Amino acid sequence: MNFKKIIYIALLLFLIIGSIFAYKYYNIIKGNNVTQDAYIYIPTNSNFTKVQELINPYLNDQKSFDWVAEKKNYPNKIRAGKFKIQKGMSNEKLVNHLRGGEPETIKLTFNNQDTYQKLAGRIADQLETDSISVLQSILDKDFLEQNNFNEATAMAMYIPNSYEFYWNTSAEQFRDKMLSEYNKFWNKERLAKAEKQNLTPIQVVTLASIVQKETSTVTERPKVAGLYLNRLKDFWPLQADPTIIYALKQKYGQETDIKRVLNKDLTIDSPYNTYTNFGLPPGPIAMPDISSLEAVLNPTKHKYFYMCASTENIGQHEFASSLSQHNINARKYQNWISKQGINR
């Protein structure tokens, strides 16, 4: 075998071996490795071992991912968040996405949470943070004082809606965003409408919380709001049963089931007792939704001062402008509710 032939064979072997290595290298870097579309949630302060554990179920080859991640220094640049991975992603694209791509946002929603504990639990169900951190953030005294709230009024800051957040948003970041959304909600137009009713934004929320608890019928809320505003303007006590129920739950526990307000309940010693105290209670008794807020800002004008639950149109009310007519409506309702066997 002559020298040229040996060189030729050696070059050919080199090219074959080089091609094999190049093919394997290409597959490791550029080849498809992700087996399905999925979302992975990387907690704050995670290490590479945690990421491996989260992503392993969606990979054809864990070792090739590890190798590319090491080469790109990803173990030292891990970011928390919700990340979408797609079927057919290469290791290179996957690592680049986890290391520098945009995390996914979530649509965070809440409504009708009537205690801070329930609100904190609802938020913690949707974000990485825990309910204790959310609760502490919501009730942070320095934050409340700096922004003209207190523990009785802090619920007014949370306007029920859908909001976009990153999954790993902290409790403090959530609270600060809600303050920003609160200030955005109270634009010039709404502030002018509140002033027209001689109410501050917090007072609007407080009255709206009573309206919402009083009726679940959205179309009736402006009429109910108009009634309470009539009472406020004429210096009448609101005499709102939902505030009595709120006071009873404060005294006996949130899980207390109260379907009927008794005469003896009307004397409960509480700043939320709107039978013995004039004006609005210290703060919201629930979290009113936007329809209730708009009802207070855009009330129906009428001359009603009394209302009673209707026995004919369940879920609605009978309205009256005189006490005599109200007493007729009230007796009718009391007789009906007694027949239902509801004693408390």
pLDDT tens over the chain, length 344 residues: 565 665 655 555 554 554 444 445 444 555 678 999 999 999 999 999 999 999 999 999 899 999 999 999 999 999 999 999 999 999 999 999 999 999 999 999 999 898 999 999 999 999 999 999 999 999 999 999 999 999 999 999 999 999 999 999 999 999 999 999 999 999 999 999 999 999 999 999 999 999 999 999 999 999 999 999 999 999 999 999 999 999 999 988 888 878 778 889 999 999 999 999 999 999 999 999 999 999 999 999 999 999 988 888 888 888 999 998 988 888 888 877 777 666 55
The CATH class of the 25-100 domain is alpha beta
DSSP for 191-215, please give it. HHHHHHTT--HHHHHHHHHHHHHH-
**Domain boundaries, given as residue ranges, for the chain:** 25-100, 106-185, 198-339
